[in-house]
Chains A and B, each alone.
Chain A
Amino acid sequence: MSNRHATIELSTGLFVLLGFAALLFMVTQITARGLVLHENTYRLVARFDNVGSLKIGAPVSMGGVSVGRVEAIDYDSKAYKAVARLAIQARFDRIPNDSDVAIFTAGLLGGQYVGITPGGAETFFKDGDQVDLTQSAVVLENLISKFLFDKAGQEAKKPEGAAK
């Protein structure tokens, strides 16, 4: 009787263990959070005219290497700018403070990410610093309409030139 009870308890324990292992796996391995529970980071604030479809949690990369994440995105209704707060891992503490921060798109269906191009300054970003040089996301519609209007402008000019 007690033997059978032990078996039940053992397999229940095994089941619960498996269940929690699966939960842990889902939270840590499948999402972007990774195993790191408390990452040592510092924060930069970057203001953009347009962040496009940048999402919280999007990677911040330098030279293609992920050095941090987008922590928060907000809109500053006084300056009419989108504000992105970037959490950079503490070990990347030598980013020149005249570096250029831009929003890029990874692939055709990929999400957007923040890219940092290092500048040449001798002083480095500190926690809470504001990034001065930013470049907004390229909005595909704007690009296309620009291209089309350019094209239309050229077409309009052409017959005029041909007539002369």
Chain B
Amino acid sequence: MSVAGELLLSGRELLQKWGRFTLFTARLLAVSPRALGRFRLVVAQVYNAGALSLVIIMLSGLFVGMVLGLQGYDLLRRFGSTEALGTAAALGLLRELGPVVTALLFAGRAGTALASEIGLMSATDQLSAMEMMAVDPVRRVCAPRFIGGVIAMPLLAAIFSTIGIFGAQLVGVTLMGVDSGQFWSQMRGSVELADVVEGIIKSIAFGFACSAIAVYEGYHAVPTAEGVGRATTRTVVTSSVAVLALDYTLTAMLL
């Protein structure tokens, strides 16, 4: 009885949290157009979320591409069709690895920064001070960060995929000796615009999810040192799970 009661209670809490998140996202979206008007704030957030993540994204993209080149080469060699390496690497990066790995890194690099920044603002009463001055903190603090993340994420994913393909080329062509012409021409022959679009749609969706979760967790953090720490952790966990679940759903829809 008590177990059932507890289950019911935690189920209710989960539902409540879902509802709070949905309402918060709706509010975020409602104020976003007006927040876009304050262009400088958004630019600063694109810088925070995007430009500052550039190095880690580029480095990871290079290594993921290189691993893909190596694994793909070994796999395709067994079928005697190593010239398809370009296709395999490009499709893998554009459709899956680019958006997903970028989103996971984004959640870790930019999402945590967002959550802890907003959480700390609320812990030091900065958000309440804004409310006292009749400034809506969701509009002034949360929305620019959210928009910045949504803008930065597809660009980061595109950079990741592009660098990854060059990484695959580096390993496949330079190290393993796949013919460079075949690598590129097979890739061009079989990758369609729809594949690129799939990746872009995914990265926008992930950017949306990661940014919304990070801003939500930061805004609703318990205003103590421990609370902010927990909110940061939750941001990474929730974002990662959301990205992977969303990835499957989107793949099933777009394929």
Contact = CB atoms under 8 A, between A and B. Distances in A.
The answer to whether A and B come from one shared complex is yes
B155 A59 contact: no
Interface of B: 43-44, 46-47, 50-51, 54, 79, 81, 84, 90, 94, 152, 154-156, 158-159, 161-163, 165, 186-193, 195-196, 199-200
B43 A12 contact: yes
B116 to A, nearest CB: 20
A30 B47 contact: no
B228 to A, nearest CB: 25
Contacts of A32: 188-192
A111 B196 contact: no
> Which 3 A-B pairs have CB atoms at the shortest separation, nearest pair first?
A19-B155, A22-B158, A15-B51
A18 B109 CA distance: 19
Given A15-B51, A19-B50, A26 B192 contact: no
22 contacts: A12-B50, A12-B51, A15-B46, A18-B54, A19-B154, A19-B159, A20-B158, A22-B163, A23-B155, A26-B161, A27-B193, A29-B188, A30-B90, A30-B94, A30-B196, A31-B191, A32-B188, A32-B189, A32-B190, A109-B84, A110-B186, A111-B189
B155 A18 contact: yes
Given A15-B50, A30-B90, 15 more contacts: A8-B47, A9-B43, A9-B47, A12-B43, A12-B46, A12-B50, A12-B51, A14-B51, A15-B46, A15-B51, A16-B50, A19-B158, A19-B159, A26-B162, A31-B195
Interface residues of A, number: 28
Given A30-B187, A31-B188, A20 B155 contact: yes
A146 B236 CA distance: 59
Nearest to B200: A23
Given A15-B47, A30-B90, A57 B155 contact: no
Given A12-B47, A19-B50, A22-B159, A31 B81 contact: no
B81 A16 contact: no
A58 B39 CA distance: 44
Contacts of A124: none
